[in-house]
Amino acid sequence: MASVFTHIFVGEALAKTLTSEKMPAKFWVLAAVSSILPDIDIVGFYLGIRYRSLFGHRGFSHSLLFAAIAGMLTAFLAFRDVPRGTRKWWGLAAFFFFVTASHGMLDAMTDGGYGIGFFIPFDNTRYFSPWQPLTVSPVGVYGFFSRWGWDVLVSEFIWIWLPMLTILAIVAAYRKKFHHRS
């Protein structure tokens, strides 16, 4: 998996990129939570659920169906003031879908594990990205504070953080220029 830091960074960067309006604090908190939500499946390690099973690590909770359910539930439960079925409500649901789905996309770019079950429960195949530049993160805190954890952060900084920071700078420059014209 990618590190929790990078998952949260990508969730927040997507939020900053995809919305230009002032959003409430809960939006930003939920973007961070949604970005790491798929790793709820690590509880399975302690419950005896095998890694490669449907509900094992990188299984159902990393699927696109899970991301869609999570996105709609987040919009439904956290944004009760937004009328259901409106463009704004569907925009929130879609945003939280993309942030949750970004988790599996990042994990698929790592060089370890058994792949991501993007299409579970319809297809139990685990997939990797054809391009895997990220060093897989250790599962657990202790392994992260080692040379391996450092290697993870370096690869994520090069392949995820720098490109996302560049995109954020471009979007900010565009918005500044566009905003001054209005």
Residue spans per domain, the chain: 4-181
**Number of residues written out for the chain:** 182
Question: Residue 166 and residue 173: Cα distance in Å, rounded?
Answer: 11
For residue 180, the model assigns a pLDDT of: 59
pTM: 0.91
Contact assessment for residue 109 and residue 137, using Cβ atoms and an 8 Å cutoff: no
For residue 149, the model assigns a pLDDT of: 86
> Residue 108 phi/psi, 5° resolution?
-65, -20
The per-residue pLDDT for range 60-106, each reduced to its tens digit, is: 999 999 999 999 999 999 999 999 999 999 999 999 999 999 999 99
Question: Residue 1 and residue 33: Cα distance in Å, rounded?
Answer: 16
- The residues of the chain scoring below 50 in pLDDT are none
For residue 173, the model assigns a pLDDT of: 94
Coil vs helix vs strand at 127 = strand
